[in-house]
């Protein structure tokens, strides 16, 4: 399953997030896969596409970052998957 992760950086902001990622890595548990990410131009928010079979893996990962980041985890599908699923209803 794919998930869009919306991250909002808390004070002190992106500098501490990037510093920790540089020094410690992403700290992603086995079974949770980072796919890609985008960051707004003001370094306030990040959107990450991630993959996992067990949504519970996010709890472990979020616990390591919750002091610096607020998270929203949204299950998503690809456009091709959405087209195939909705096609019989058209």
pTM > 0.75: yes or no: yes
Domains of the chain by range and CATH? 2-89 (3.30.70)
Burial label, 28 (beta-carbon count in 10 A; 0-12, 13-18, 19+) = middle
User: What is the Cα–Cα distance from 89 to 85, expressed in whole angstroms?
Assistant: 8
pLDDT at 12: 86
Report the chain's terminal Cα–Cα distance, integer Å.
Answer: 25
Tens-binned pLDDT, residue by residue, of the chain (90 aa): 999 999 999 998 899 999 999 999 999 999 999 999 999 999 999 999 999 999 999 999 999 999 999 999 999 999 999 999 999 999
């Amino acid at each position: 399953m794919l998930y869009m992760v919306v991250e909002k950086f808390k004070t002190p902001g992106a500098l501490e997030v990037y510093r920790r990622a540089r020094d410690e890595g992403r700290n992603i548990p086995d079974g949770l896969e980072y796919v890609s990410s985008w960051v707004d131009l003001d370094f306030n928010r990040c959107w990450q596409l991630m993959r996992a079979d067990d949504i519970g893996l996010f709890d472990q990962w979020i616990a390591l970052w919750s002091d610096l980041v607020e998270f929203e985890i949204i299950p998503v599908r690809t456009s091709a998957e959405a087209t195939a699923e909705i096609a019989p209803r058209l």
